[in-house]
């Protein structure tokens, strides 16, 4: 108990290092890159494959990408989820992909796939940060 | 009746469709979409929620089973509600 408290205090007091900033930022931009830069190659590769595949499947299903908006709360939350995909989101916006197709019922699945890919990348970014500060191996 | 059944079977088995603009669209049924979702989400959960490799694999499998179990439970619950 005392040990874990001391360990927690040590982590809380850890100074901001270059890696603790770089790993999450890079991990957001390219899914899994935050792990790879810390030499967690397999974990990084699996995260990259999982998140990128989910996002691309969403696009292939004609899912809709949310843009920055101040309207409906669900649209705002959709935007927050999509932004998590980082580089994939920016690439999609730049190429004007992800317009959504009402004609296909699966387009709705696609929209959700892309949002979840972004949310999973947020978890991955937090994990990369925890590795960088030594909270996780 | 027969025609309707054929149409349903076609919509379940085709895996892509081309729209008027020539874009090829991936068509997944609800169950296969849930399986794909569960598979990739479980990998990420396993890696990010546990500390060592063995626990990651176990937790990833646990999440996958729970996701699929949830699909079946929800499916049967909806079937019962419909009756």
DSSP B34-52: HHHHHHHHHHHHHHHH-SS
For residue range B11-41, list pLDDT tens digits in order. Answer: 444 677 676 666 788 889 999 999 999 999 9
Q: B8: which chain A residues are within 8 Å (Cβ-Cβ)?
A: none
Task: Please state, in angstroms and rounded to a whole number, the distance separating the CA atoms of residues B38 and B74.
Answer: 15
- Give pTM, 2 decimals: 0.85
Contact of A102 with chain B, judged by CB distance below 8 Å, is answered with no
**Two tokens, residue A129:** 């940060």
Which of A40, A41, A57 should we substitute to test contact with B (largest number of B Cβ atoms within 10 Å)?
A57
> Do the chains contact at A104 and B19, CB–CB below 8 Å?
yes
pLDDT, position A117:
98
Beta strands in A21-102 (DSSP E): none
**Two tokens, residue B43:** 């990998």
Please say whether the beta carbons of A107 and A100 come within 8 A: yes
Task: Please state, in angstroms and rounded to a whole number, the distance separating the CA atoms of residues A127 and A32.
Answer: 10
> Do the chains contact at A101 and B25, CB–CB below 8 Å?
yes
> Do the chains contact at A137 and B52, CB–CB below 8 Å?
yes
Q: Which of B30, B33, B47 sits opposite A47 (nearest CB)?
A: B47
Separation in Å, CA B31 to CA A94, B36, B57, B73, B81: 32, 9, 23, 13, 19
Q: Which residue in A has a C-alpha nearest to residue B19's C-alpha?
A: A103
Which of B43, B54, B67 should we substitute to test contact with A (largest number of A Cβ atoms within 10 Å)?
B43
pLDDT by residue, tens only, chain A of 137 residues: 455 666 665 556 667 899 999 999 999 999 999 999 999 999 999 999 999 999 999 999 999 999 998 889 999 999 999 999 999 999 999 999 988 877 777 899 999 999 999 999 999 999 999 999 999 98
Q: Which of B68, B16, B12 is nearest to B39 (CA)?
A: B68
Which of B31, B40, B67 should we substitute to test contact with A (largest number of A Cβ atoms within 10 Å)?
B40
Q: Which of B19, B24, B37 sits opposite A116 (nearest CB)?
A: B37
pLDDT, position B24:
80
């Amino acid at each position: 108990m005392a040990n874990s408290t001391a360990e927690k205090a040590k982590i809380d007091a850890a100074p901001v290092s270059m890696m603790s900033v770089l790993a999450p930022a890079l991990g957001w931009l390219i899914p899994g890159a935050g792990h790879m830069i810390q030499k967690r190659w397999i974990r990084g590769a699996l995260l990259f494959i999982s998140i990128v595949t989910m996002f691309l499947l969403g696009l292939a299903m004609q899912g809709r990408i949310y843009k920055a908006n101040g309207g409906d709360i669900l649209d705002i939350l959709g935007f927050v989820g999509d932004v998590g995909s980082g580089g994939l989101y920016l690439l999609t916006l730049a190429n004007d992909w992800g317009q959504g197709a009402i004609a296909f019922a699966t387009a709705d699945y696609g929209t959700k796939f892309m949002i979840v890919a972004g949310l999973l990348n947020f978890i991955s970014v937090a994990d990369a940060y925890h590795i960088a500060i030594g909270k996780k191996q | 009746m027969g025609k309707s059944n054929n149409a349903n079977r076609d919509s379940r088995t085709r895996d892509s469709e081309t729209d008027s603009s020539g874009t090829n669209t991936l068509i997944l049924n609800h169950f296969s979409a849930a399986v794909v979702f569960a598979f990739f989400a479980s990998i990420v959960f396993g890696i990010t929620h546990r500390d060592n490799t063995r626990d990651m694999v176990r937790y990833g499998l646990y999440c996958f089973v729970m996701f699929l179990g949830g699909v079946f439970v929800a499916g049967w619950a909806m079937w019962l509600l419909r009756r």
